[in-house]
Structure 1
Amino acid sequence: MLHPMTIEPEQQGGVGTQDAFQRLWTPHRMAYIQGENKPTGPEAGDGCPFCGLPAMSDQDGLIVARGEHVYAVLNLYPYNGGHLLVVPYRHVADYTELDGPETAELGDLTKRAMTALRKASGAHGFNIGMNQGAAAGAGIAAHLHQHVVPRWGGDANFMPVVGHTRVLPQLLADTRQMLADAWPVD
């Protein structure tokens, strides 16, 4: 049985030449490629999605946990299932701009994210980090955010390496609920 997003060449209205390849169509990725939800400038009022998310419900904003100074949210364009971002509420671009309480809570929510991901999904390891500035690869450089990416043995298969496609086994809303339920409390 084919994945629902997979279309065989002969099902494409006769366009193209039939071959042995299946196609995995991911039209939702065009939003990311075309820059949807990216700020129009460096200021908090320039459409920064990280500034707008806290005003939303946890479900609508895909927020997994909220602290006093930072919050944890699912990445809309995840590298792996459960890919979280730990984000300060305050609109700052650089790690050195965080004050002491923000720095401490960013570290604490990162630890809690790891605990929740291990409990909910059995993550074997993590990639944790920040891209500081556009030159370093930050997609939204104006608002600091730390990535917490769960990893499992063998999760880097041929799809991302050869096919440049991520295969995610769960809807983001379901992942958010699973992680919120597993989130450790004080």
Structure 2
Amino acid sequence: MALNRYPYQAGHLLILPRGHIGRIQDLPEACRKEMDGWMVKAMNALEDGMGSQGINIGLNQGKAAGAGIAEHLHWHLVPRWEGDHNFMPVLGETFVLPEDPMHTFDCLIQWFLPEEEDS
């Protein structure tokens, strides 16, 4: 789990397996289940921690599909809100971040910390 270095939106998260795997078909079953668990945690964090009203989830598999590193599979989770359309990347070739990434980190980190066990 990581914040995207070049986010489309505040809270843009990446979920990636620990190994260098380029195709979702090549993920071991246990790894796929682990990725599903991280996906649920991330979605809860974005909805409950940031108040997102929707989430775009994407996966670029292979260089032709836009993967920056073909051997490194990862999912993008982008929180969305009603009316959040941003024309700056299209018209101005510029990305606008409505929030400092460290503030985003502070809002979301609690959702990914290990749960405390009852004593």
* TM-score for both structures, normalised by structure 1: 0.57
Structure 1 gaps, min length 5: 1-71
Residue 118 (str. 1) matches residue 47 (str. 2): yes
Shift of 1:172: 1.9
Letter matched to residue 148 of structure 1:
L
Give the counterpart of 2:10 among 58, 81, 88: 81
| 1:62-112 deviation digits (Å, cap 9, x = unpaired) | xxxxxxxxxx10010111110000010011111111101100111111111
Q: Give me the CA root mean square deviation.
A: 1.6
1:135 aligns with: 64
Segments of structure 2 that go 5 or more residues without pairing to the other structure are: none
Deviation at 1:160, TM superposition (A): 2.8
- List structure 1 segments (4+ residues) > 4 angstroms apart after TM superposition: none
Could you say what secondary structure the match of 1:102 adopts? helix
- 1:127, distance to aligned residue in structure 2 (A): 0.9
Aligned-pair CA distance for 1:184 = 7.5
Q: 1:94 aligns with which of 13, 23, 38?
A: 23
Q: Equivalent pairs: percent with the same residue?
A: 47
For residue 160 of structure 1, the aligned residue among 63, 86, 89 is: 89
The 8 Å contact of residues 116 and 184 in structure 1, kept in 2 or not, is answered as no
Higher Cα Rg, which structure: 1
What is the Cα deviation at residue 129 of structure 1? 1.7
